[in-house]
Structure formats: structure tokens, C-alpha cells
Amino acid sequence: MQSFYAVYRKEMGHYFVSPIAYIFIGVFLFLAAYFFNYFLTVMIQQSFSMEMQGMRFGMPPEIDVPGQVMRGFFGLLSTLVLFFTPILTMGVYAEERKRGTMELLMTSPVTETQIVLGKFFASLTLFMLMMLPTAGYVIFMCLHSDPMPPWRMVAAGYAGVLLLGGSLIALGTFISSLTENQLIAAVLTFAAFLFVWVLDLGSNADGGIGAVVQYLSVIRHYDDFTRGVIDTSALIYYFSFIALFIFLTVRSIDSMRWRRA
């Protein structure tokens, strides 16, 4: 536990001593805020024009502005996550390998699992710190909207973001452990993300295979969360995904001992 915490603490220090974390979180929040504002404006305008039409023709149609904004907002967060996570994870192991500090970690009384978990949770913490301020946008909307967006939907949405982020971090750090070059790690990670993202697009095929491929897409399960549905199969999917890649990372680190370096 002490060793796990030492690695975790070192990683967090690395993020916040250098400008990495501040630039990263700053740019993310700027983009998220811009698009949130955009969604809100568009939805409000739409609902106004719908209401006008309703007054003219009677029977104003129901439009759930807060719900629609939240769905759009969580959809946007997932897209930003797709672009930001490779940058977050590219250096996690690649940089250590390049600097030779991996040799320090691997000759210290620390297990591979402690190293991998320490780094994973440090990245996840930074990810959560990045997401936390976006709750401010949601709270702002809640204060001014009637009806309020259903809190279950907000909670489920954030749970989805967290699980999606965790999965992509696990995958990204695994790829980072395969190379010494951060750029290669980032490009491969982005490609891998896109692949698991669009898996369900190619799954129009009927029958068993289509269903399996669809189940493997990271974003299909995320959609459930943005609708406020927490499905057990989605939870199992994300936790297995994270566990699988953490396991593979541990194996990958261990294999460095056998490679010629």
C-alpha cells in the first residue's frame, strides 16, 4: 500500500509540478464550456420556436430542454475524452522508459501491480479533476431551469464519463507501456480509441456476430448512461475492459525484464 501510494503521489506531482495538468484542464474546460453554452442556446431557441408554433396551432408539444441539453452535453464530453485521453496517457510509461527511470522502479521493492495501479489511479484522478468543474455548468443550469434536469440522469451521465475515461486510460497506458516514444504511443492510442469507438458502426450484420461486435463498442454502453440508465451489462463491460488492460499492462511491464534493453 505504501509503495502504491508512493507511485501515485509521484505521478500526481509530475502532473502538477509541470504545466501539463493546468494546460490540459484549462483547454478542456474552455472547450467543454463553449459547447455547453452552444447546446443550451440552441435548445432554448428551438423550444421557443416550438412554443410559438404551438400557440399558433394549439397543443404545444412537450420538449424536455434540460434533458436534451444534458444528453448533448454528455455526448460532447465523450468526444472530448476521445481526443484528450491519448495525450494524458501517452507519456505514462513511454517517458519512464526513455528516461531510464523504469529501471529504478523495477529494482525497487515495488511489484509491477503496484506500479501499474499507482499510475492508473493517478491518471484517473487527473481525469476526474478535469471533469469536476463541468459539474459547475450543470449546477448553473439546475439553478435557472424549470423543470430541473432529473438528478438520476446527471449522476448516471457522470458515472458513464468516469467509466469511459477509466477504460480509455487503461487502454492508453497499456499502449504507452509498449513503446519508448510518446508520439507513437499517442497516435496508436488514438487509433485504438477510434477503433473501439466505431465498432458498433460496422455491426449492422444480423445475428450473433453483429450483436457481439456491438456489445464490444465502448460508446454504445455509454449511450445508456447519458439516457440515465445504468445497465448491469454496461457496468460489467467497463469493469472487465479496465481489468483486462490493467492486467495486460502488468504483463507488458514484466516482459521488459526479458527483453533486451
Partner 1 sequence: MIEVENLTKTYGERTAVDHVSFAVNKGEILGFLGPNGAGKTTTMRILTGFMPATSGTARVAGFDVAKESMDVRRHIGYLPETPPLYPDMTIESYLDFVARIKNVPAADRARSVTDAMRKTNLEDRRSELIKRLSRGYKQRVGIAQALVHDPDVIILDEPTVGLDPKQIIEVRNLIKGLAGSHTIILSTHILPEVSMTCDRVVIINKGKIAAVDTPQNLTSQLKSGQKIRLEVQAPEAAIRGTLTQVPGVSQVHVEALPSSDRSIVTIETAQGADIRSEIAAKIIASGWRLFELRGVSLSLEDIFLELTTDDASHAQQPVN
Residues at the site binding partner 1, with contacts judged by CB under 8 A: 2-3, 5-7, 9-10, 13-14, 17-18, 99-111, 257-258, 260
**71 vs 97 by CB, closer to partner 1:** 97
- CB closer to partner 1 out of 1 and 59: 1
As given in the structure block, the three cell numbers for residue 159 are 458515472
Return the C-alpha cell found at 59: 397543443
Least separation in angstroms between CB 118 and partner 1? 10
Min. distance of Cβ 96 from partner 1 in angstroms? 9
Supply the minimum distance, in Å, between the C-beta of residue 10 and partner 1.
Answer: 5
Q: Which is nearer to partner 1, 40 or 102 (CB)?
A: 102
Cell numbers for 137: 455548468
Find all residues with CB under 8 Å of 187, minimum gap 6, and list them. 86
Cβ atoms of 81 and 165 within 8 Å: the answer is: yes
Q: How far is CA 81 from CA 31, 62, 75, 222, in A?
A: 11, 32, 10, 12
- State in angstroms the smallest separation of the CB of 12 from partner 1: 11
What residue type is assigned to position 47 of the chain? S
Judge whether 183 and 86 are in contact, CB under 8 Å. no
Scan for cell 404551438, then name that residue: 54
The answer to whether 126 and 22 have CB atoms below 8 angstroms apart is no
Cβ-based nearer residue to partner 1, 88 or 163: 88
Minimum distance from CB of 165 to partner 1 (Å)?
Answer: 24
How many angstroms from the chain centroid is the CA of residue 147? 29
Cβ distance to partner 1 smaller for residue 102 or 154: 102
CA atoms within 13 A on the CB side of 119: 30
Identify which of residues 2 and 232 has a Cβ nearer to partner 1 in the complex.
2
Which residues are CB-contacts of 40 (< 8 A; sequence separation ≥ 6)? 69, 141
Min dist CB 256 to partner 1, Å, is 9
